[in-house]
Amino acid sequence: MSPLELSAALVLVALGPIAGSAAHAFASRYPHDLTGWLFGRSRCPHCKAQLSARDLVPLVSFVLARGRCRFCGAPIDPESLGAELFALAIATVAVIALPFRSAVLVALVGWVLLAAALVDRRTLLLPDVLTLPLLLAGIAAAWFGLAPARPLEALSGAALGFAFLALVAQLYRALRGREGLGLGDAKLMAAAGAWLGPLALPRVLFIGALCALAVALASGAWRRPEQPLPFGPWLALAFLCVLVIEMAARANAMP
């Protein structure tokens, strides 16, 4: 890696916590205050005090404030710190495992998936404003040779991913009389198919289902039976893991 590439990689890693903070803020304001997310000023959700730059430095502000608002002393949502750390991890893994151009793509996809997962965790919805651009970006990346899937594979993968999970959702609703999977999950699976192609979809679904099952079993002691477990975060994690693996395999196969 040249000094220029190393500098660019360090910048990408440094952007990770900022992306995580933005993803958490998006999830906190979705769907009622997206204008505020874009143009508004951050405030403490408890005392409504306006936060300054010193309160908004990713990772650092949380540690220095010991996880509490400096105005009212209320605890800061630890999910914000978790989102910043996870976004940092996404960028770090991408930089270590992939060439720089691929690392940038994977980091961007990972940060969007993180925002989608955080929204789904809060609302049980995967927003079209995130999943549909991710789908279109996958088709575009395949067209320009930047994704693991080829153009026809991207189209067939998107169609197959959406159709399969939409069918599963319909069958679940018919058998159980209530929602199990939503069309947001199907759209996210379509995005995975667009980036990865149809042959990778069974791995995405298997890893996502395995993670969701593990979490359901681990949380069974304290989670109420009627409390739904969102599938989107685990599907997003599986999508990202398979994307990293496929991009790394593609990079290693190139002369």
Tens digits of residue pLDDT in 61-97:
888 888 898 888 888 889 999 999 999 999 999 999 9
Domain assignment of residue 81, yes or no: yes
The pTM score is: 0.93
Predicted local confidence at residue 5, as pLDDT: 79
Same domain for 22 and 143, yes or no, is no
CB within 8 Å of 137: residues ≥ 6 apart? 109, 194
Nearest CA to 111 among 135, 138, 84, 129? 84
Predicted local confidence at residue 226, as pLDDT: 60
Same domain for 61 and 161, yes or no, is no
Domain assignment of residue 233, yes or no: yes
Same domain for 243 and 168, yes or no, is yes
* Number of compact structural domains in the chain: 2
Domain assignment of residue 231, yes or no: yes
Domain assignment of residue 63, yes or no: yes
Q: Helix/strand/coil (H, E, C) string of the chain?
A: CCHHHHHHHHHHHHHHHHHHHHHHHHHHHCCCCHHHHHHCCCECCCCCCECCHHHCCCCHHHHHCCCECCCCCCECCHHHHHHHHHHHHHHHHHHHHCCHHHHHHHHHHHHHHHHHHHHHHHHCCCCHHHHHHHHHHHHHHHHCCCCCCCHHHHHHHHHHHHHHHHHHHHHHHHHHCCCCCCHHHHHHHHHHHHHHCHHHHHHHHHHHHHHHHHHHHHCCCCCCCCCCCCCHHHHHHHHHHHHHHHHHHHHHHCC
How far apart CA 201 and CA 39 sit, in angstroms, is: 38
Strand-pair partners of 43: 50
Same domain for 14 and 135, yes or no, is no
Give the other-Cβ count within 10 Å of 128's Cβ. Answer: 12
**Residue 87, both tokens:** 């976004």
Same domain for 78 and 134, yes or no, is no
How far apart CA 10 and CA 158 sit, in angstroms, is: 33
Same domain for 144 and 250, yes or no, is yes
Tens digits of residue pLDDT in 233-247:
999 999 999 999 999
How far apart CA 18 and CA 59 sit, in angstroms, is: 9
Average pLDDT on 45-64 reads 84
Strand-pair partners of 50: 43
Same domain for 133 and 221, yes or no, is yes
Domain assignment of residue 107, yes or no: no
Is residue 118 within 8 A of residue 82, CB to CB? The reply is no
Is residue 106 within 8 A of residue 243, CB to CB? The reply is yes
Domain assignment of residue 180, yes or no: yes
How far apart CA 173 and CA 202 sit, in angstroms, is: 22
Same domain for 93 and 128, yes or no, is no
Predicted local confidence at residue 37, as pLDDT: 72
Domain assignment of residue 119, yes or no: no
Same domain for 29 and 90, yes or no, is yes
Tens digits of residue pLDDT in 169-223:
888 777 766 666 778 999 999 999 999 999 999 999 999 999 998 988 877 645 5
Residue 20: give the domain boundaries.
1-97
